[in-house]
Every structure is written in structure tokens, then in C-alpha cells.
Amino acid sequence: MPRMSKIELFVAIRRDLAAGMSGRAIEEKHRVGRRTVSAAMASALPPPRKAMPPRGSKLDPFKPAIDDILRADLDAPRKQRHTVRRIYHRLLDEHGMADVSYQVVRTYVADRKPKIRAESGRGPIKAFFPQTHRPGAEAEVDFGEVVINLRGEPVTCMLFSFRMSFSGKAIHRIFASGGQEAFFEGHVHALKRLGGAPTGKVRYDNLRSAVAKVLGFSRQRIETQRWTAFRSHYGLDVFYCQPGH
């Protein structure tokens, strides 16, 4: 017979108490102590288990040394900062660490490094910049690879996406290839579905279908001639994202 759970035990004890069975008889029947019977009398739900104290780690004696290294690295030149492997070997050579794996050290460093930066006032600044867009004014276009299931086989296709910034309404179309013709056709399909072109900027990555050359790290571009003519025909005011931003 399977052993009953704690809550099932409390149900059985409370049922026996309601039937008039004495506390001593219940203790003998269920092989429990007086405290368990009293707890069942007080509540139908067993008290929650006490949280076990955190188990110690063999790394605990060496955590202050790791923290000191990470704090020193805050002011060190980039090429002189410690890798996890270098920290691990310093603990072995300089602090006599033993029976602690590299993975344990790596996990601790990954957890403590951002906390130490934050404690020193060098952590990432938490800020919120609300975005405001006028209805029908701005949009963004993406044209990239997507894997679809075609007759049970994964096939890589190109997904065209035209998304309005204010409403979030997006028009999608999948193409078999990523040529310029597909790029243009995606625009024609989206603009027909939306009822016209946005009145403001349309953001683009530096897609080959539109950009022939990026001029340095500025927003200046040499566009493909066909794209220049196409966007001029539809009145698209384009905005190109800077590489790496």
C-alpha cells in the first residue's frame, strides 16, 4: 500500500477525530506523535516545511579573493583583465584551492561580475525612453531568412515584413528567393493592403536590395538605381540604420 501524503494523513486524522477517536488511539493508528495530531486539529493543511539552510560550497573560502580580482579589473586596461581561466589558475597557484572545478568558478564569476560593477556604480543605467509615433507616419521594413515546413521538409525562404510603428500592424509575405524583385513585390503588396505609403520615415537595415554601398559610419548611402526609382515612385522617405547601432 503506497504511503499517504502529509495532507492525506491530516485528512485521515481529522476524520478519526470527528468520529470520536481519542488522541492516543489516533497516534497508535497512524504512528504519529501528539504534535502531528494537534496540528491536524488546528488546520486541514499541513504547515509548510522549514526552508533548509543553504549548503556550503568548497568555493566559499575563495570567494573574497575572486571578488578582489574582479574589483581590481574594473580599473585595469582591457587586455590586462582576468579571464575566468586566469582567475581559476590564480586560485590554484596562489590560494591553494583544491577539489573545486573550473565550472564552479565560472558560474560564480558570471554571477558576481555584473553585481560588482553595479556596486561600484559602473553597472548599466536603468532608463526608460518612451517612444511616440504619429498615426500612419512611421514604419520599419525587414527582409530576412525564415525556415518553413514545406511538405514535411524544412525549407529556407525569405520573409518580407512591413510594420507600422504606431499601430503595430504588420504585413508579411514569404518569397522563395531574396532577389530585388521579391523585395519590391513585398512593398507593393504591403502598400496596397495598408492603403498607401507612410507620411514619415520608413526605417531599413542596409539591405543589398536597396543599398549598394555604406559610406563609413554615417547615414549616407549609395542606393541601387532601381530602388531609388522605386521608392521615389511610391513616395517612400527612407531612414537607414547605422551599422552596429
133 domain-assigned: no
34 domain-assigned: yes
pLDDT of res. 206: 77
50 domain-assigned: no
Same domain, residue pair 110 and 194: no
pLDDT of res. 215: 67
pLDDT of res. 184: 95
Same domain, residue pair 166 and 209: yes
132 domain-assigned: no
Burial grade of 193 (CB within 10 A; 0-12, 13-18, 19 or more): exposed
Contacts of residue 238, defined as CB under 8 A and 6 or more positions apart, other chains included, come to: 201, 202, 203, 204, 210, 231
CATH code for position 179? 3.30.420.10
pLDDT of res. 156: 93
* 206 CB-side CA count, 13 A: 16
Same domain, residue pair 180 and 226: yes
Indicate the average pLDDT of the chain: 88
Same domain, residue pair 37 and 69: no
Residues of the chain with pLDDT under 50: 1, 244-245
Instruction: Report the alpha-carbon angle 172-173-175, nearest 5.
Output: 150
188 domain-assigned: yes
pLDDT of res. 236: 92
Q: Report how many domains make up the chain.
A: 3
Range of the domain at 163: 139-240
224 domain-assigned: yes
Same domain, residue pair 17 and 82: no
